Amino acid sequence: MALTNSQYESIMRGYERRRDISRSLVASRQEEIYREIPGYRQLEDSVSSVSVNAARMVLSGNDEALLKLHESLDDISAQKKRLLRDAGYPENYLEPVYECPDCQDTGYISSGDGRKEKCRCFRLQEVSILYDQSNIREMISRENFATLSYDHYQGEDLLRFKAAVSASLNFIQNFKEDYHNLLFYGTVGTGKSFLSGCIANELIGGGYSVIYFSALSLFECLAYYSFDPKEKARLHSFYEDIYGCDLLVIDDLGTETTNAFINSQLFACLNERQLRRNATVISTNLNLEELQARYSDRIFSRLTSNYTFCKLTGADIRISRL
């Protein structure tokens, strides 16, 4: 699921094209301003002469030269802005135009500890590629709130499904402000994966990065990147995908063959996403007793303390539609 070298290079070429377009636009606007506003070019040219004079004064021992330089540059900047305003242009008319102001169309931003990390806009492109690879787009085009129906439920099953729908809508509505996790559990074919897909679809439409995995596929990928010597270099990138996306959906937890490796990987995933306060939605056909028996106490503790549980029951909808 991690990007190949060619996919990564394609994204970076896209950023380079964005910057080229921005530079071309600024150059065109600059020529326009030089034509339309007398004296503007002279002000820009004066920056070089003022800076050179200040450098000479610093070398000659003038301690106040740098302070005077900053004052002169601030005054020139104020004059340029005034000329632009007086001519009917915005003050930032000659500043670079970025599609993403956060990373300035480089794809990377500085983290709190000074390291470079992928910008949100990079991750959205990255996840978009991963969606296409995993056919998630086709799935969420079918499983969304526009196709939701209560027709296959009745009695207590209907009440539970309505409660799960309400929890899903609340999850989406408060996604930005409220760190929250959901776990759909219950009998087969009662709408757990459907609601997970509805949530994924809505948040993707809202510009959030969402990665959707069946539990079987997730652990197969983790094993592949962990144990294949040729792919191990891409493991860190894969971890960043599943730990760092805005929403991770793990569908059909319990269909995989559970062992020590899977238990440790699942705990690491849940724990790391909790530390980063990134939301997770899980669906499973297991009941709570089976979840506790199959996975470690640490995993079950994470689920019970950090997830809203939504139980779904009833007949298998997929069979009733036949």
pLDDT per residue rounded down to tens, the chain (322 residues):
456 677 888 999 999 999 999 999 999 999 999 999 989 999 888 888 888 887 788 777 777 777 888 888 888 999 999 999 999 999 999 999 999 999 999 999 987 777 888 898 998 888 777 666 555 666 777 777 888 888 888 999 999 999 999 999 999 999 989 999 999 999 998 999 999 989 988 888 787 888 888 999 899 988 888 887 777 667 877 888 888 888 999 999 999 988 999 999 999 999 999 999 999 999 999 999 999 999 989 999 999 999 999 999 988 776 665 4
pLDDT for residue 135: 53
pLDDT for residue 262: 93
Q: Which CATH class is domain 135-320?
A: alpha beta
pLDDT for residue 132: 63
SS (H, E, C) the chain: CCCCHHHHHHHHHHHHHHHHHHHHHHHHHHHHHHHHCCCHHHHHHHHHHHHHHHHHHHHCCCCCHHHHHHHHHHHHHHHHHHHHHHCCCCCCCCCCCCCCCCCCCCCEEECCCCCEEECHHHHHHHHHHHHHHHCHHHHHHHCCHHHCCCCCCCHHHHHHHHHHHHHHHHHHHCCCCCCCCEEEEECCCCCHHHHHHHHHHHHHHCCCCEEEEEHHHHHHHHHHHHHCCCCHHHHHHHHHHHHHCCEEEEEEECCCCCCHHHHHHHHHHHHHHHHHCCEEEEEECCCHHHHHHHCCHHHHHHHHHHCEEEEECCCCHHHHCC
Q: Hunting for tokens 């990138």 — which residue is that?
A: 237
Residue 195 pairs with which residues in a beta bridge?
none
pLDDT for residue 89: 95
The Cβ of residue 104 has, within 10 Å, a number of other Cβ atoms equal to 17
Q: Residue ranges of the domains in the chain? A: 135-320
Indicate the pTM of the whole model.
0.66
Q: Pseudo-torsion of CA 248, 288, 304, 314, nearest 10°?
A: 60
Residue 114 falls in which region: left (phi positive, over 0), alpha (psi -120 to 50) or beta: left
